[in-house]
Amino acid sequence: MGTEIERKFLLAGDGWRGLGKGKAYCQGYISSDGRTTVRVRTVEGKGFLTVKGPTLNLSRAEYEYQIPYHDAKEMLDTLCPYPLVEKIRYIVNFAGSIWEIDEFLGANEGLLLAEIELADPRQTFVMPPWIGKEVSDDPRYRNANLARTPFSTW
């Protein structure tokens, strides 16, 4: 079983800009009932299907599989309700930790989030100066919820 352990933060500055290259992501949700999430994603000509379980103490089961890009595009167009979640993801290495910074577009434009994946929920790390408030426990910031209730509607 794959396990995802992540913490999520708002950004408090632009000091991260220029530290990593961005990639365009588009994702939609076939199912998201609070217990199980099924996501379709495209990035740089590749398609992915991901199944996630419920979050408990920052951890959840996660299974991700590469699928044909054409299939992923077709699923996004026909199986996923709109709006889709569009974003540019930047990978930034800071003090030995990898941070994923998402700059959202479309219906979630204006939202900037940083995530760090951990090996253990109690793992320590150095907090970059551009990190703001932690929102790991706020369900509004989960991508599946941003698809249902975009940031622009808050």
Question: Which residues belong to the active site?
Answer: 29
Longest CA–CA span in the chain (Å) reads 42
Cis omega before residue 83 (within 30°)? yes
Alpha carbon 61 to chain centroid, angstroms: 15
Is residue 64 a contact partner of residue 43, using CB atoms and an 8 Å limit?
A: no
Burial 20-34 (b: 16+ CB within 10 A, else e): beeeebbbbbeebee
Torsion angles phi and psi, residue 121, rounded to 5: -60, -25
Torsion angles phi and psi, residue 106, rounded to 5: 60, -135
Classified as helix, coil or strand, 60 is strand
